[in-house]
Amino acid sequence: MGTDSSLKVYNQDNNSEFAKLISENLENIILKDNSIVTGSVEKVDDKYVHVFIKGAKSSGLVDINEIPHAELDSLEEGKEIEVFLERTEDRNGNIVLSIEKARRAKSWKKIEEAFEKQEKVSGIIKNTVKGGVVVEIFGVFAFCPNSQVADRPIKNMNEFMNKPMEFQIIKIDNVRMNVIASRRQVIEQEKNKNKEKVIKNYKVGDVVEGTIKAVQSYGCFVSIESLDCLLHSSEVSHLKITNLNDMFTVGEKIKVKVLEIDNENMRMSLSVKAMLPDPFETIKDKFSIGNEYEVKIVKLTDFGAFAEMQEGIVGLIHSSEIKHMQKNVNPKSAFKIGDTVKVKLKEVDTEKRKIALSYKDCLPNPVDEFITKYPIGTTVKTKVVTKKDFGIFCNTGDSDIDIFVHYKQLDYAESSKALDNFNKGDEVELKIIDIKDDKVNGSIRALKKDPFSFFDDKKIGDIVSTRVVEVQDNGLKVDVGPDRYQTIIRKSELALEKSDQRPNRFSSGDSIDAAILELDADKRRVKLSVKKLEQQQADEAIEKYGSTSSGQSLAGILGEALEKKDQKKD
């Protein structure tokens, strides 16, 4: 049998080579769904680009709408292109391809790599949406919040639209294919590089010149080269500062000392007061409490005026220390900034770093003149100038000082009802009884006889006659003595027998004898008791006429005693 020379004969060695070729070919034809593969263009028609994929059963189709016109014109037969293999076989047995998804997948991979490596990426802001802007990065649309577009508030976003800018990807969601980007982080990174260069030029203790960039309630931001540094309010002065806006203006040049350098956070803390001597260390050597000094008014507030004693030493003239006889004086009505006035140094509190000054102590006090003319104890004739719920103010007519009479000093009843007896313009005579805190106090009742003087020669147990003024639920209001001192006989003290302790047994105008139960001359207080009187009478009768063991009633004993008393009189 002859052998055809055109046929290739495989021996044992040839079999192994054939197996190897088959194995390599099988590896090349393994295709996976949702993967990027390389194919070659077979042809381009009106609707599709036909792409041959090695290992596929048939050519795949790509809709020409996925391809930009400029690229479509350059697609030639045999040209290799990358496509996204969605499915190796659909229900009709066709392979499903997409150029757009291939590009998106490649773009997403770039975004993932940039996010993992924290690399800067180029992006273009395409439009604005609620809360931020849409940025195109590698063909993928990302969201950038308004707060991350710049390192400053933006009034008009148009200046950033459609311009290539650098961003940093700060968050991605692989499931939803969402991307969040930040331009602000890129800016701050660049700033940090500059900060590092600036900080290397300085050391703690250096005195440098900076520019006030912003003034806040807690301090000032001072720009040193391109670095913004904090001058905290506590480092402005050795004295307490209430409003930094009164001391600094934006754009002002200022000399400061470097107080602290934070290399990790790229920050420098500054101080002004560190360059100045502490005035509280030497103030007591230069100034003495109680002495008078000329000062300059440097600031006016609602509660007082700040006065400079010398450079760096400022004290407070409180509103209560501006005028005699007035506590709440408006400082602006008494001073102007720049005024030079004389004050008395009242207090230096080193711990609280406060200096208290008095302006009024350097002025003549009208009270001193009044005391000279009307010493305590003087009786003066006055007129009522003001009537209040708590008393009246009277004036002698020859002084600016009003004399205050509290309602308890109108009469000895110490009732506010006594105010009804006084009206503005009434002439009243009173006695000066006290001068305290620049206030003159007077008394009208001091010129009257004290009704309580009736008890000057009385003691506990003495019997007094009273007259019922008012019947009350809890007892009787009675007056005692010729000047009618008023007090209350409590319900429980109206009779020995509880059944007789009813206040309504009595009427206004009734005369009642009662014994003194308590007597306090200092507090001008007395307690009277009918019960105590009856008990005293019962004790006397029993002692004189019998005992409780005789079986007689108290009424019988008292009856017999009174009868015998009447017979003796006869």
Residue-wise pLDDT tens digits, 142-173: 999 999 998 888 888 888 899 899 999 999 88
**Fold topology of 118-188:** OB fold (Dihydrolipoamide Acetyltransferase, E2P) (2.40.50)
pLDDT in tens, 207-228: 999 999 888 888 999 988 878 8
pLDDT the model gives residue 8? 43
Residue range 313-339, pLDDT digits in tens: 888 999 989 988 777 889 999 999 999
Q: Map 360-414 to HEC letters.
A: HHHCCCHHHHHHHHCCCCCEEEEEEEEEECCEEEEECCCCCCCEEEEHHHCCCCC
pLDDT digits (tens, 9 = 90+) for 452-481: 888 989 899 999 999 999 999 999 999 998
Over residues 253-265, the pLDDT tens digits come to 999 999 998 888 7
The average pLDDT across 507-519 equals 91
**pLDDT for 432 beyond 90:** yes
Q: For residue 413, count other CB atoms closer than 10 A to its CB.
A: 15
According to DSSP H, which parts of 235-311 are helical? 279-286
Of 2.60.40.10, 3.30.1360.30, 1.10.287.70, 2.40.50.140, the CATH number of 451-550 is 2.40.50.140
Kind and range of the H or E run holding 116: helix 99-117
CB atoms within 10 A of CB 96: 17
- What is d(CA 547, CA 545) in angstroms, rounded to the nearest whole number? 7
The pLDDT value recorded for residue 139 is 82
What is the rounded average pLDDT of the residues 494-518? 91
- Do 461 and 516 meet the contact criterion of CB atoms below 8 Å apart? yes
Q: How distant, in Å, are the alpha carbons of 10, 12, 15, 18 from that of 4? A: 14, 20, 20, 20
Domain with residues 201-275, CATH architecture: Beta Barrel (2.40)
- The residue that leads in pLDDT, 418 or 86, is 418
Task: Enter the tokens of residue 404.
Answer: 């205050």
Residue range 65-78: average pLDDT?
70
List the domain boundaries for the chain: 25-103, 118-188, 201-275, 286-355, 366-447, 451-550
Any idea which of 30-44, 277-291, 391-405 has the lowest mean pLDDT? Answer: 30-44
Sign of the C-alpha dihedral computed for residues 394, 397, 399 and 400 taken in this order = positive
- Kindly indicate the confidence band of residue 9, based on its pLDDT and cuts at 50, 70 and 90: very low
Specify the fold of 366-447.
Answer: OB fold (Dihydrolipoamide Acetyltransferase, E2P) (2.40.50)
Q: What is the pLDDT of residue 5?
A: 40
Q: What is the pLDDT of residue 341?
A: 93
Which pLDDT does position 232 carry in this prediction? 92
Phi, psi (degrees; rounded to nearest 5) at 524: 50, 55
Q: Is residue 160 within 8 Å of 186, Cβ to Cβ?
A: no
* 230 or 40: which leads in pLDDT: 230
Query: Comparing 6 with 116, which gets the higher pLDDT?
Result: 116
Q: Give me the helices (H) in 122-271, please.
A: 184-199
Residue 26: pLDDT band by 50, 70, 90 thresholds?
A: very low
* pLDDT the model gives residue 10: 42
Output 559 or 435, whichever has higher pLDDT: 435
Q: Which CATH superfamily includes the segment(s) 286-355?
A: Nucleic acid-binding proteins (2.40.50.140)
pLDDT for 358 beyond 60: yes
Non-local (6+) Cβ contacts of 393 within 8 A are: 384, 385, 386, 387, 402, 403, 404, 405
State which fold the 25-103 domain adopts.
Answer: OB fold (Dihydrolipoamide Acetyltransferase, E2P) (2.40.50)
Q: Is 422's pLDDT higher than 90?
A: yes
Q: Are 396 and 381 in contact (CB under 8 A)?
A: yes
The reported pLDDT for the residue numbered 69 is: 67
The larger pLDDT score, comparing residue 279 to residue 373, is at 373
- Average confidence score pLDDT of the chain: 82
Looking at residue 34, its pLDDT comes to: 64
pLDDT value at 357 more than 60: yes
pLDDT tier at 22, thresholds 50, 70, 90: very low
- Report the pLDDT value the prediction gives residue 348, as an integer from 0 to 100: 87
Do 366-447 and 451-550 come out as alike in CATH topology? yes
